[in-house]
């Protein structure tokens, strides 16, 4: 049997079970071998019955003392009760309709059970547990994604037979030997066997790391190939002008930072090449990414091209409209704004003007990519806070012109190793310097006990003429965001903040309602803005000096850092108060980082160390092929290895023709993501 053999060649897989496997998209033996476990049950560390945590999942090693006869409760429901003991106490195992499991238990024999312990302290019970014989040497059991009718044991049996009978084609290593040795990566043969049936969790981790390495390497190589491919396209080659940044500076109310000047120069140089720019500007909150975008737009304007700037929300689109008008109108640049909430007539007029070339810079939301919008020599496309856009949207905006230059601005500073993998198709500029005179935002982490003192502090700021944000408690899964935001805002405005104008901002509001609220907050009419995380990105209100965040423990650090970046944008000292709803050592350590550093890159580096790369991949998830192993297991070291390995491979064979298996993997990975690029 080989990887392409139909699944029915395995013992016990007839047409009925094959139908079940089909639901999981498993058709061949190879598919089954790539149906990796979701996790493992570790039977190696049982606890005593008397020490089991009630209503939690426990592993218990116990001897069967008595099997009560089957009891027919009602039509179609047979109950089996088995008493087990481990000398610390007794426990009842309860099985429903599972004669097979019941018969698998023998009086006098010892087993290890895995399941939730319920009942009460006097009569403990475990319903429908999984179990193995205590003498079984394989203490780590895979848990697979299943479908109704298919059990874990069936999959285990089938996978095990497949591993033993499939020919060597299943174990061929797609990664060249010299890479495996150089980066101490486990062989594929070893990893495939041990991802399914590891002897212990260390071995499982080695296998998992190898599979994560595979995914990341294919991703990185695919991105590199794509990047090379885009160099064969013809773009709007612009005419280099080394005075453009100085010209831009002359009309600015502030002095550009060195980092802003460098990034602007890099962008301008990119736009003077034969092929289109594909650049990411990464910078901490408040590092002034918008000014770099404006410099690029000015350069495009000087070269007779339009620029489109797409923002993820109406609030941000309008904010950019205002900022770019301020920065660029002294140069004669005509700026407009196009959003989804415009009236049809107004929109038609603006669209005509855009198509007629009466505007040079068009800011907007995804209204920009709608069918009806036509541009006039669109030479530059800028995307702000890029992770909010799907890759389709990115591609569609680019299609509006003929290979326009592309500039992406990311809100989340991420470590370089990770950026190279996730944004591997882009060149990267980093704004690693904040504008002069920025004061650090004083940050405090407190528990709920200190909430009223925190509110007192916020009130004091309001009394001094400043404004404040309060980020709502996070709703429980089944609660409604709307209801809880409203009731929380009411509580504040009738309690601690009685007499102050309190506004509310949440995701269920229409864009125009959100806009109106933001405008009232910007104008100073609203003093305290109660908001869900919709304020997270980009919003700029310099008079707001304090942000209080409820349930801070439930946010990722990078997200907290983004939220904190809403304050500290004006000349006043600003503050951030993190209120933790629950507290433990890990939460304490995480929140402490926030109070100790204001460097977004350091914060995300720490996040990567503590929680792995999963969240970061999630942020750009639309743009990336699906990752199965590149998650919490992925650390900086692995990312750096992958990046070096990709370079080694490209150096050995720039088109990958020497590594056909690997090349095939990459093509498969990227073809399932057809909209990619």
Q: SS in 3 state form for 638-659?
A: HHHHHHHHHHHHHHHCCCCCCC
For the bound state, the minimum distance from the C-beta of residue 383 to Mg ion, rounded and expressed in Å, comes to 11
Quick check: 410 binds ligand ADP (CB under 6 A)? Answer: no
Quick check: 285 binds ligand ADP (CB under 6 A)? Answer: yes
Using CB under 6 A as the binding rule, the residues of this chain from 505 to 544 that contact ligand ADP are: 540
Q: In this complex, which beta carbon is closest to ligand ADP, that of residue 191 or of residue 257? A: 257
Q: What angle do CA 531, 537, 542 make, to 5 degrees?
A: 80
DSSP of 23-77? HTT--BHHHHHT---SEEEETTS-B-GGGPPTTSEEEEEEEEEEEPPPEEEETTE
Q: In this complex, which beta carbon is closest to ligand ADP, that of residue 327 or of residue 638? A: 327
Q: Which one of ligand ADP, Mg ion, none interacts with residue 540, CB within 5 to 8 A by kind?
A: ligand ADP
Segment contacting ligand ADP by CB under 6 A, of 281-289, 352-360, 495-503, 505-513 = 281-289
Q: In this complex, which beta carbon is closest to ligand ADP, that of residue 271 or of residue 291? A: 291
Q: Which one of Mg ion, ligand ADP, none interacts with residue 386, CB within 5 to 8 A by kind?
A: none
Q: Which of 218, 290, 313, 574 binds ligand ADP (CB under 6 A)?
A: 290
Q: In this complex, which beta carbon is closest to ligand ADP, that of residue 30 or of residue 283? A: 283
CB hemisphere CA count around 424 (13 angstroms): 27
For the bound state, the minimum distance from the C-beta of residue 381 to ligand ADP, rounded and expressed in Å, comes to 17
Q: In this structure, what DSSP letter does residue 283 have?
A: E
Segment contacting Mg ion by CB under 5 A, of 47-55, 320-328, 517-525, 531-539 = 531-539
For the bound state, the minimum distance from the C-beta of residue 409 to Mg ion, rounded and expressed in Å, comes to 7
For the bound state, the minimum distance from the C-beta of residue 301 to Mg ion, rounded and expressed in Å, comes to 21
Q: Which of 176, 235, 283, 623 binds ligand ADP (CB under 6 A)?
A: 283
Q: Please state, as a whole number, how many other Cβ atoms lie within 10 Å of the Cβ of residue 296.
A: 27
Find out whether 288 and 371 touch, Cβ atoms under 8 Å.
no
Using CB under 6 A as the binding rule, the residues of this chain from 561 to 580 that contact ligand ADP are: 569
For the bound state, the minimum distance from the C-beta of residue 315 to Mg ion, rounded and expressed in Å, comes to 12
Q: Which one of ligand ADP, Mg ion, none interacts with residue 178, CB within 5 to 8 A by kind?
A: none
Q: Which one of Mg ion, ligand ADP, none interacts with residue 569, CB within 5 to 8 A by kind?
A: ligand ADP
- Chain residue at closest Cβ approach to ligand ADP: 288
The C-alpha atoms of residue 248 and residue 299 are separated, in whole angstroms, by: 9
For the bound state, the minimum distance from the C-beta of residue 410 to ligand ADP, rounded and expressed in Å, comes to 10
Q: In this complex, which beta carbon is closest to ligand ADP, that of residue 33 or of residue 434? A: 434
Q: Which of 140, 156, 212, 291 binds ligand ADP (CB under 6 A)?
A: 291
For the bound state, the minimum distance from the C-beta of residue 290 to ligand ADP, rounded and expressed in Å, comes to 3
Q: CB neighbours of 641 closer than 8 A, spacing ≥ 6? A: 183, 185, 213
CA 471 to chain centre: 21
- The partner residues of 578 in beta bridges, in order of sequence, read 445, 549
Quick check: 623 binds Mg ion (CB under 5 A)? Answer: no
Quick check: 287 binds ligand ADP (CB under 6 A)? Answer: yes
Segment contacting ligand ADP by CB under 6 A, of 2-10, 283-291, 494-502, 595-603 = 283-291
Q: Which of 35, 208, 279, 289 binds ligand ADP (CB under 6 A)?
A: 289
Q: CB neighbours of 658 closer than 8 A, spacing ≥ 6? A: 652
Quick check: 257 binds ligand ADP (CB under 6 A)? Answer: yes
Evaluated on CA atoms 411, 417, 418, 420, the torsion sign reads positive
For the bound state, the minimum distance from the C-beta of residue 431 to Mg ion, rounded and expressed in Å, comes to 11
Q: Which one of Mg ion, ligand ADP, none interacts with residue 634, CB within 5 to 8 A by kind?
A: none
CB hemisphere CA count around 629 (13 angstroms): 24
For the bound state, the minimum distance from the C-beta of residue 540 to ligand ADP, rounded and expressed in Å, comes to 5
Using CB under 5 A as the binding rule, the residues of this chain from 488 to 507 that contact Mg ion are: none
Quick check: 112 binds ligand ADP (CB under 6 A)? Answer: no
Residue with tokens 């944004």: 423
For the bound state, the minimum distance from the C-beta of residue 538 to Mg ion, rounded and expressed in Å, comes to 4
Q: Which one of Mg ion, ligand ADP, none interacts with residue 256, CB within 5 to 8 A by kind?
A: ligand ADP
Find out whether 98 and 128 touch, Cβ atoms under 8 Å.
yes
Q: Which of 401, 538, 600, 623 binds Mg ion (CB under 5 A)?
A: 538
Using CB under 6 A as the binding rule, the residues of this chain from 236 to 255 that contact ligand ADP are: 254-255
Residue 618's alpha-carbon distances to 387, 407, 575, 612, 631, in angstroms, are 9, 21, 29, 12, 9
Between the two ends of the chain, the Cα-to-Cα distance in Å is 38
How many residues touch ligand ADP under the rule CB under 6 A: the total is 16
Residue 372 burial class via C-beta count within 10 angstroms: exposed 0-12, middle 13-18, buried 19 and up: exposed
Q: In this complex, which beta carbon is closest to ligand ADP, that of residue 317 or of residue 455? A: 317
- Chain residue at closest Cβ approach to Mg ion: 538
Q: Which of 288, 401, 503, 556 binds ligand ADP (CB under 6 A)?
A: 288
Q: CB neighbours of 119 closer than 8 A, spacing ≥ 6? A: 54, 92, 125
Q: In this complex, which beta carbon is closest to Mg ion, that of residue 404 or of residue 538? A: 538
The C-alpha atoms of residue 159 and residue 472 are separated, in whole angstroms, by: 48
Find out whether 52 and 61 touch, Cβ atoms under 8 Å.
no
| Residue among 350, 284, 272 at smallest CA distance from 317 | 350
The C-alpha atoms of residue 281 and residue 409 are separated, in whole angstroms, by: 5
Quick check: 364 binds Mg ion (CB under 5 A)? Answer: no
Return the structure tokens found at 11. Answer: 């013992």
Q: In this complex, which beta carbon is closest to ligand ADP, that of residue 222 or of residue 288? A: 288
Using CB under 6 A as the binding rule, the residues of this chain from 413 to 442 that contact ligand ADP are: 435
Q: For helices 600-611 and 557-564, give the axis angle rounded to 10 degrees.
A: 160
Q: Please state, as a whole number, how many other Cβ atoms lie within 10 Å of the Cβ of residue 15.
A: 7
Q: In terms of DSSP H, where are the helices of 344-400?
A: 344-355, 391-399
Q: For helices 289-302 and 314-328, give the axis angle rounded to 10 degrees.
A: 60
Q: Please state, as a whole number, how many other Cβ atoms lie within 10 Å of the Cβ of residue 303.
A: 18
Interaction site with ligand ADP (CB under 6 A): 254-257, 260, 283, 285-291, 435, 540, 569
Interaction site with Mg ion (CB under 5 A): 538
């Amino acid at each position: 049997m080989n990887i392409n053999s139909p699944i029915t060649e395995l013992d016990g897989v007839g047409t009925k079970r094959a139908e079940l496997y089909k639901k999981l998209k498993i058709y061949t033996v190879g598919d089954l071998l790539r149906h990796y476990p979701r996790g493992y049950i570790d039977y190696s560390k049982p606890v005593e019955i008397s020490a089991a945590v009630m209503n939690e999942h426990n592993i218990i090693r116990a001897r069967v003392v008595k099997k009560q006869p089957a009891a027919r409760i009602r039509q179609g429901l047979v109950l089996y009760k088995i008493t087990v003991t481990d000398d610390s106490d007794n426990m009842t195992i309860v099985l429903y309709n599972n004669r097979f499991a019941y018969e698998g238990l023998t009086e006098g024999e010892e087993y290890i059970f895995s399941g939730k312990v319920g009942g009460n302290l006097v009569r403990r019970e475990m319903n429908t547990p999984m179990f193995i014989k205590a003498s079984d040497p394989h203490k780590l059991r895979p848990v697979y994604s299943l479908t109704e009718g298919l059990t874990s044991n069936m999959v285990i049996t089938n996978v095990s037979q497949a591993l033993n009978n499939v020919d060597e084609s299943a174990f061929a290593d797609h990664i060249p030997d010299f890479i495996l040795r150089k980066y101490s990566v486990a062989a594929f043969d070893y990893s495939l066997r041990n991802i399914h049936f590891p002897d212990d969790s260390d071995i499982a981790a080695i296998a998992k790391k190898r599979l994560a390495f595979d995914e990341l390497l294919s991703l990185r190589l695919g991105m590199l190939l794509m990047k090379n491919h885009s160099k064969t396209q013809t773009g709007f080659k612009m005419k280099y002008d080394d005075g453009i940044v100085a010209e831009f500076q002359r009309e600015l109310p502030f002095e550009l930072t060195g980092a802003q000047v460098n990034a602007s120069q890099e962008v301008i140089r990119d736009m003077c090449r034969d092929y289109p720019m594909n650049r990411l500007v990464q910078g901490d909150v408040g590092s002034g990414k918008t000014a770099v975008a404006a410099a690029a737009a000015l350069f495009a304007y000087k070269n007779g091209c339009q620029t489109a700037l797409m923002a993820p929300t109406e609030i941000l689109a309008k904010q950019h409209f205002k900022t770019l008008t301020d920065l660029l109108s002294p140069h004669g640049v005509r700026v407009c704004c196009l959003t989804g909430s415009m009236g049809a007539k107004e929109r038609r007029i603006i669209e005509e003007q855009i198509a007629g070339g009466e505007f040079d810079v068009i800011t907007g939301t995804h209204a920009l990519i709608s069918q009806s919008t036509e541009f006039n020599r669109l030479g530059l496309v800028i995307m702000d806070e890029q992770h909010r856009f799907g890759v389709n949207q990115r591609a569609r905006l680019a299609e509006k012109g003929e290979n326009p230059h592309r500039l992406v601005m990311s809100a989340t500073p991420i470590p370089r190793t990770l950026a190279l993998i996730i944004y591997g198709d882009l060149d990267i500029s980093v704004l690693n310097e904040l504008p002069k005179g920025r004061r650090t935002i004083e940050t405090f982490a407190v528990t709920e006990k200190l909430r009223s003192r925190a509110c007192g502090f916020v009130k004091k700021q309001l009394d001094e003429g400043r404004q404040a944000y309060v980020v709502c408690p996070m709703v429980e899964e089944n609660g409604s965001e709307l209801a809880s935001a409203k009731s929380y805002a009411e509580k504040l405005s009738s309690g601690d903040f009685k007499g102050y104008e309190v506004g509310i901002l949440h995701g269920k509001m229409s864009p125009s309602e959100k806009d109106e609220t933001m405008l009232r907050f910007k104008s100073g009419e609203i003093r305290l803005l109660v908001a869900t995380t919709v304020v997270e990105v980009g919003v700029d209100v310099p008079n707001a000096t304090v942000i209080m965040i409820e349930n801070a423990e439930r946010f990722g650090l990078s997200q907290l850092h983004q939220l904190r970046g809403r304050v500290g944008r004006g000349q006043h000292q600003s503050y951030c108060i993190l209120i933790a709803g629950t507290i433990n050592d890990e939460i304490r350590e995480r929140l402490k980082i926030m109070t100790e550093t204001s460097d977004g890159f350091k914060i995300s580096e720490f996040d990567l160390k503590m929680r792995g790369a999963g969240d970061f991949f999630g942020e750009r998830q639309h743009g990336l092929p699906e990752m199965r192993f590149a998650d919490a297991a992925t650390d900086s070291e692995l990312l750096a290895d992958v990046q070096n390995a990709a370079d080694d491979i490209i150096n050995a064979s720039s088109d990958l023709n020497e590594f056909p298996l690997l090349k095939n993997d990459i093509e498969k990975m990227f073809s399932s993501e057809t909209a990619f690029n």
